[in-house]
Amino acid sequence: MKQYLVGSFLLVSLIPGKIVADIPIDKLRGEAVSEMGSIVNGSFGGGSVENQYLSRLGVNITASDTVNGKLRLTVGVGGIFYQPLPIGGFWQKSLKFAPKITEASSELIFAPNLSLEQGYFPLKYNSPAMDLGEYLLKSESYPTYISTGGWTWVDSAYTRAFGMRLKASHLGGKFQHEVGIYMELNNAPYYDFTPAYLFSLRPSKGIEFGGGIALRRWFSPNSGNTSTNPKDEALAAAQYVTIANFPEVQNQAAVFYTYEDGTGNRVGGQAFAVWNPGSGLDTAGLLAGKTNPRVSSVQMIQDGSPAGSRTGIKKFLQNLAGCSADSSKCTTYLSATDTVSQVDATGVAAGTPGAAVITNTETITRKAINVMAHVNFNFTKIFGWEERYGFCELYGEWAVLGMQNQPVYYQNILQRMPVMVGVHIPTFGLLDLLALETEYLDNPYPDSYQQLAGQQFEQLTGVDEAIPDMDYTLRKFTLPSVHRDDWKWCMYGVKTILPGVKLKIQVANDHARMQYFDVDALAGAAFGAISAQPQTTNMRQWYYVAHLQWGF
């Protein structure tokens, strides 16, 4: 069904832009790029990476035609040779090749200030951004993660969109806006539709304000019947339920203590404590037989509750009868058919399991309302400075990746607000451009799409994939505290060597995810896959890339 959706959308996009064989090409661009660099200090697959060589070599050709001043057709194709991260033998380390369509679009021009564009095209709204930013359509909300990089590691602060948009400008071009709808082809699950509105206002020379809103993944063909979904574990982690006839749940805790051994030395110990709701923890009985015991700390594992109504994530509603002192995971109270195990006061299964009386179910969803604002102060234009001295700009972007809070995982909107600030620094002719950018996002989860990565080549249901990357073997939900990756930064420079030949340098700790190749994991997929987490996951990790670009 999804293949038909893509095919139908492509057909619609070409209806107003049918190709006539004898139309001359009025604009042809060719470009070759070579990127070489190194992950100086980073991580991959849970292990550390140091001085990891990076290389890419690519080419693309773009042709554009304008028919009778009313129809603009653009087609771009290319290919790239890349060196994947070596994670094994020959197949993982050998040079790979991937072809790509860089653009395939038609634009119907109704008037100089009104047009309709459709197909596959680059979309960029924050013009001075070099690496960070462009959050509205390039980032994910539930789970929250941000992407940088793409076809090349350098000059990738934009989105390749597949869809259609109506663009208009007013006040002599000072106010521009567009409304569009885009199909998701970049991040799993694929084929969801996102309507979006963008605008920018230039009240005076060198000053720009802009913003936008996107109904991220608002229409989805992936919302399959979850009762037949084989990924029951992911589904259980994405459903927030209220059960009226929930059995009694005991309190559980790890008790840490010290005591004197037979030689009089003080040593440490740990005990697993279980007690009924409504009563207190009896540490005296727990430590009976120890000499001069002292409790150091009590770490709660599971909060108890009396029999009756209980609300929570299905996966964390766990049966104490399946736990032991050495167990890291309890069995769930709820079976796949939503029967609930009955237990006695000690947590031991008793009687025949009965049907759970579920009075409310809320599925954690990937649907999100994203908003964005950006600003740009180009002091070179504001004060009329000579451009040959280099641009002097201050710019920034702020976004909310998901206006709606959702139970348990996404209850703090401040943790879904990335902020980016950048500056273009004049170099007085030494460089064409020098940019510094930094970003902050107080996200407690890893910047990861691990819950999605394994399903890139499978049929997806979508609704059960909004859970963050975390440890689901725990007995209850505990909010992670991963903040080593809250800050990101990038330094970017450009120098024209010869006409048509530019050298670009990027040194960064950003969200770039490198390609890898694993025959077993990808089951023969031709072009490898992308790492679920960035290779720079804390402030001390960074990479550099030299990008040589030449073309006509």
The pTM (predicted TM-score) of the whole model is 0.83
Q: Which residue, among 97, 130, 76, 113, has the nearest Cα to 507 in the 3D structure?
A: 130
292 contacts 267 by C-beta, under 8 angstroms: no
10 Å CB burial of residue 281 (0-12, 13-18, 19+) is middle
Average pLDDT of the residues in 325-332: 55
| Structure confidence at residue 309 (pLDDT) | 87
| Tens-place pLDDT, residues 122-173 | 999 999 999 999 999 999 999 999 999 887 889 889 999 999 999 999 999 9
Report the chain's terminal Cα–Cα distance, integer Å. 41
Encode pLDDT of 527-550 as tens digits. Answer: 456 778 898 988 889 999 999 999
Residue 61 · residue 75 · CB < 8 Å: no
For the segment 28-51, the average pLDDT, to the nearest whole number, is: 87
Any idea where the domains of the chain sit in the sequence?
A: 2-224+364-551, 250-304
Mean per-residue pLDDT for 278-298?
A: 87
Q: Round to whole Å and give the CA distance between 436 and 246.
A: 55
Model confidence at 462, pLDDT cuts 50, 70, 90, reads: very low
* Average confidence (pLDDT) over 186-203: 90
Mark residue 451 as left, alpha or beta (left: phi above 0; alpha: psi -120 to 50; beta: remaining): alpha
pLDDT at residue 460 in the model: 47
pLDDT of amino acid 149: 85
Which three-class secondary structure string do you get for 335-354? CCCCEECCECCCCCECCCCE
Task: Return the closest-CA partner of residue 143 out of 489, 482, 528.
Answer: 482
pLDDT averaged over every residue in the chain: 82
User: Is 496's pLDDT higher than 90?
Assistant: yes
Domain 2-224+364-551 = CATH 2.70.98.10: no
| Rounded average pLDDT over 69-77 | 92
Mean pLDDT of 229-254: 74
Identify the residue with better confidence: 319 or 204.
204
Q: What is the model's pLDDT at position 210?
A: 97
Q: What's the CA gap between 34 and 40, in Å, rounded?
A: 19
Distance, CA of 433 to CA of 424 (rounded, Å): 7
Per-residue pLDDT of 397-418, as tens digits, reads 999 999 999 999 999 999 999 9
